[in-house]
Amino acid sequence: MAAKRRLSKLHSFFWLLVLVAVAVLTGEHTEHIDARLYNYAGKAVGMVPTERTLHLLHAGQTAPREPDTTVETRRIECPAVTAIELDDSTAARCFAALPLGPQDFAVLLHKLGESCGTRHLAISAPLSWQGDTAPIARQMVALGITRFDSKAIGLRGRTTADADFTPAVLRAGSIPPEQIEGDTTDLPAANRAFENDLLYLNEAQQLAWAPDRINDERLTQNPTAATDRSFPLLARWNGEILPTLPLRLAMQIKGLKPTDIKVRMGKDIRLGTITLPLDERGCTRLQQSVSNSLKPESFIDSSSTPARAPIVLLSIPPDGKAEGRRPAQLAATISQLCATEITEYHTQQGAPGLSLMYRTPATDWLSLSILAAIALFAVRVLPYFPGVLCKLTMLAALGGLLWFAHREMQLGYWVHLTSAIATWLTLALALCVLRPTEMKRRR
């Protein structure tokens, strides 16, 4: 007798219906799982950026744009500082007689505030006049300076064998030693002040004084050729570290006290919330500074309309000869020190959404026939395969399914991957049940 294997048609038909039902029902209700699978797979293979979302679409749908993003940008903005130089040749065109007296200087200050709208003033000038000047005239100059919102007066200094006490008006701006790190020996140094007709007036105590020109200190008198190097910000006076004229005015404008200044020699200097690089000589870089020049005759002559100059550096050379570069450097230094950090927020429109368009494998009768043939093969023929060969066939089918989904994804399409995997698992279960039975027959 010989045995013949037979598979029940009823069982095969039942499992065929189960496979169809699983494919249809899971395809309608598991699209959210498909979305997660495609996003995970797309990010794993590098097709979808980590921060983006992949949308699965049907015909007529459009992927939503990515959310708008707010971008923060920060920039340094420096105010424009105007340099005005009153050398002898310029003064001769503006005033009837030379040398200028304190009354002429008081007129100059009045014109600055009235015609140019100047609110902040730094003065680099000898402020000493020939002959005996009346105290009332000097008081007019001091009072004229106090009318500005911020004012800093430069004091010329020198180093002598017979040191003098540091003027009290300078000590008021001294930076505390605990605010300074590093070696300060390379800073410009002085120990005695030059004669100044305003220094000991009672009104002078209301003014902010600072070291300005220092004899035998080239950086304070003749700027280097490098246009990006500032005037020294610090000077030593009898061992005390003082802010020089540009820094003193910047402190006035920004409302900073000496304790708000943090110095690290050779590294940086912090002015409130702004930090600038600082070299061993006390200079910084003029990276964003804005400065310009203005001729005195343009605002002293009442018939002309001068440009507005809210911040002014007024320079009068001690020898009466035009310097040009030094006033420009002082003005640029003040501009850089008065820098403010501007924070702006910009909204950027989200990028177009990433998407895949749905494409069903059953697009026509031919594809439907192929799928039907595969289903019949799976429930009628595959159960007859030996165990190992059956398992290899199922693994090959799963690999082919994943390859097909990946290829479609590269082409911009998606399929019901969850439905396909659920159907494959159902078939694997069916193959555990669908076992051909042996039937005996007589010869």
Length of the chain: 443
Q: What is the pLDDT of residues 362-406, one digit of tens each?
A: 767 887 888 888 888 888 888 888 888 988 988 998 999 899 889
Averaged pLDDT, 300-316 = 84
Rounded (10°) angle between helices 417-433 and 9-29: 160
- Residue 166 CB neighbours (<10 A): 19
pLDDT at 297: 85
Amino acid at 16: L
- Measured CA to CA, the distance from residue 112 to residue 108 in angstroms comes to 6
pLDDT above 90 covers what percent of the chain?
Answer: 38
pLDDT at 225: 61
pLDDT at 109: 92
Question: C-alpha distances in angstroms, 21 versus 24, 347, 417?
Answer: 5, 49, 16
pTM higher than 0.85 for the full model? no
Averaged pLDDT, 294-300 = 86
Q: Which of 317, 307, 313, 314 is nearest to 338 (CA)?
A: 313
- Measured CA to CA, the distance from residue 129 to residue 105 in angstroms comes to 10
If DSSP codes are grouped into helix, strand and coil, which group holds residue 157? strand
- Measured CA to CA, the distance from residue 180 to residue 182 in angstroms comes to 7
pLDDT at 192: 93
Distance spanning both ends of the chain, measured CA to CA: 7
User: Can you spell out the DSSP letters for 149-168?
Assistant: SEEEEEEEEE--SS--PPPH
Q: What is the mean pLDDT of the chain?
A: 88
